[in-house]
Copies of this chain bind each other. A is one copy, B any other.
Amino acid sequence: MSGLSRFLSVLRCFTEAKANWTVPELAEAIGVPASTVYRTVRELVAQGFLEPSTEAHYRLGSAFIEFDRMIRLTDPLVKVGSPLLRDLVAEVRHPCVAVLARLYGDRVICAADERYDGAELPTSYERGRPMPLTRGATSKTILSQLPGRRLKKLLADADADAPAKLSGELAAIRKRGHCITRGEVDKGLVGIAVPVSNSELAISASLSLVVSDATLDERLERRLVLLLVSAADLLSQALRRLA
C-alpha cells in the first residue's frame, strides 16, 4: 500500500454502517500497525479529511464538504444540470425523482438529483451514491454512449451476466434515443433515461426520471420521454455554450 491508496484505505472505512473509528480499530480493519495508522490519520486530520469525534474516535471531515461545493460551483454537468432538474420535475407534475448520473470508475454515480415536491419514492438513486453499471435505464443509457473499446474494457472488468443481451439493449438505446426499465434497480419503480453527452467536455451522462410503476400509464410515459428529450436537449445546448 503506497501513495494515495494508503490514505484511501483509511477513508473507505468510514461508512454509513460504521462512521466512527478509533485508530486501533482502523489498524485492525486494514491490517496495518497502529503506529502507521496514527501517522496516516494525523495527516488526514491536518488536511480536514478526518476530524476528531467523541473520545479517541474520528469521523469524516469537512474538507469533503468544501470540495463538494467546488464541484457544485465548477462542474459543468452539475452546474448546468441542477437548475434544469428543478424545472424538469416542476413540469412533470407527477411524483418522480429526476437524476443526472455519470460514469464513476466501474460504476455510475448520481451527480445531481431533484425530487418532485413531497414525492416519497423509495428510490436508490441519490446524489453521491454509486450504482451498478449494468442495471437500470440510467446506467444503460450512459453505457450506450461509450466508444466500443472503452465499453468492452469496462464490461470485462465488471463481468456482466449477459454481455450479448446487454449490447443488444445498448444498440436499441442508441437507435431509439431513450431507455425504459422496470424494477431493475428498485422493485415497483420505473426508470426512463435519455443520453447527455458533450465530447468537448468529455461528458457522457444520462438524465432520468424515476416514477412508480403503478402510476405510469402509456400516455404519461410518452409525455415523460418527451420532457426528458427536450430537457436533455437544453442541457446539451448549455454544455456546448460552456465548452
Contact = CB atoms under 8 A, between A and B. Distances in A.
Interface of A: 3-5, 7-8, 11, 14-16, 19, 43-44, 46-49, 51-54, 59-60, 62-75, 102, 104-105, 109, 111, 126-130, 200-202, 243
Contact of A74 (B16, B51, B71): B16
A238 to B, nearest CB: 15
Total copies of this chain within the assembly = 2
B54 A4 contact: no
The A contact surface, by secondary structure, is mixed
Most buried by B among A4, A15, A19, A62: A62
Contact of A69 (B4, B7, B51, B128): B128
Nearest to A200: B54
A44 B4 contact: yes
A70 to B, nearest CB: 6
A128 B68 contact: yes
Contact of A128 (B65, B109, B130): B65
Contacts of A104: 48, 62-63, 66
Contact of A62 (B11, B69, B109): B109
B69 A127 contact: yes
A216 B105 CA distance: 50
Most buried by B among A66, A104, A200, A201: A66
A75 B102 contact: no
Top 6 A-B residue pairs of the complex, sorted by shortest distance between their CB atoms: A69-B128, A19-B74, A68-B68, A64-B67, A4-B43, A65-B128
B70 A14 contact: yes
Contacts of A243: 54
Most buried by B among A15, A63, A201: A63
Given A15-B70, A16-B70, A129-B69, A59 B44 contact: no
A205 B46 CA distance: 19
A59 B73 contact: no
Contacts of A43: 3-5
Given A4-B7, A8-B47, A43-B3, A64 B54 contact: no
